[in-house]
Amino acid sequence: MGKPAKWYEKSGPEEDMVVSTHVSLSRNLSGIPFPDKLDNDRRVEVLKKIDEAVTGNPCFPPEEFLWQYVFSDPKLCVGLAERRLVTPDFLCTGNLHARALFQSKDEGFAMMVNGADHLRFQVMGAGLCFHKVWQELKEKDDALSSALAFAFDEELGYLTSNPADLGTGMRASVILHLPAMEEGGIIGRTAANLSRLGLTLQSIDGENGESASCLYELSNQVTLGIGESEALTNLDSICRQLIRQERGARKKLLQRPEIQDTVARSYGILRYARLLDYPEFEKLLSNVRLGVSCGFLQEVSLPGRGSLPVLHRLSVEGQPANVVVAPGGNPQVEAAARARFVRGILAAMEREKPQEEPEE
């Protein structure tokens, strides 16, 4: 049997606008201080308790899940963060002793152990799929709760190291592709309006200005005094408003003839370039994603599963620490490896595309 498809290689609802959905829960074991207050022996004790909770649990079949304990390779650490299996600070701050990652082999589920909290686990899904992701996450939460006693207060809810996570301990987000709204210069105003509703909209590139990828993360900030289902319903509703806004902006954007030219040129560069640095790759891929979503880039229009999951795979596996290069490779070596990887994927897509029947 081959390796299971990663979660990001699958199609999902509203995938022309929404790349992915993420929901996580933070939990701590009752009667045990937060990880930053524990010595090494107590940290090992926490890890053993969690290991015992998942071992033999039908919710975590061993053929579908794996543990990672040692994170001595800096590139591996960054690569895990790029794929959102861990938070950026999980592998580089605080006491790293007995810190571990438990994940599904398709990477749709990931649980950090002995980070800021004893455990933080998440489910990721393609497209806009809060209900699906939450159902799976709740199933995992119930399975863990049956084996572990979580720290809970009747008034405050679940106790967490970060006061902002008190209550449900839940964080939820979606990643949206918003090239037309960015081109129209309305992202900043939209983000300001959303902040008044307790939501955050920010570039995944970590910059306040324009995003090369045009990918933005919409997330909740309030976890106290609101239930999980209500919070997810609110976030889903706001996300759908942004989808309608982006669709309207795209109609205007696509009336400009130079946009289709930009998309076609971007595809040509991705398809044949020998060197692709990361910022250029992000921008070109965003242009191609727009073209595929709007149906005017026929070179990569695939039936069945569609082309967007393939482009999502490129965006994940084309990141700096995920590009396969020899140890000690310089930026040019990385750019060459990225270009080679992209060429291979796009060439395979072209071969997979059905040939048109010749006219009689």
Where do the domains of the chain lie?
7-251, 257-349
Q: Give the torsion sign (CA, 299, 303, 305, 308).
A: positive
Q: Which residues of the chain have pLDDT under 50?
A: 303-305, 356-360
Q: Please give the DSSP secondary-structure letter assigned to residue 17.
A: T
CATH 3.30.590.10 fits 7-251, yes or no: yes
Evaluate whether 281 touches 266 at the Cβ level (below 8 Å): no
Cα angle 163, 133, 289 (rounded to 5 degrees) comes to 105
pLDDT at residue 97 in the model: 87
Q: Which residues have C-beta within 8 Å of that of residue 12, sequence separation ≥ 6?
A: 18, 20, 21, 125, 126, 127, 128, 129
pLDDT at residue 209 in the model: 59
pLDDT at residue 357 in the model: 43
pLDDT at residue 82 in the model: 94
Which residue's entry shows tokens 């079949």?
Answer: 61
φ, ψ at 269 (rounded to 5°): -65, -45
pLDDT at residue 74 in the model: 78
pLDDT at residue 340 in the model: 96
Evaluate whether 203 touches 211 at the Cβ level (below 8 Å): yes
CA–CA distance, 172 with 176 (Å, rounded to integer): 13
Residue 152: count of CB within 10 angstroms of its CB: 14
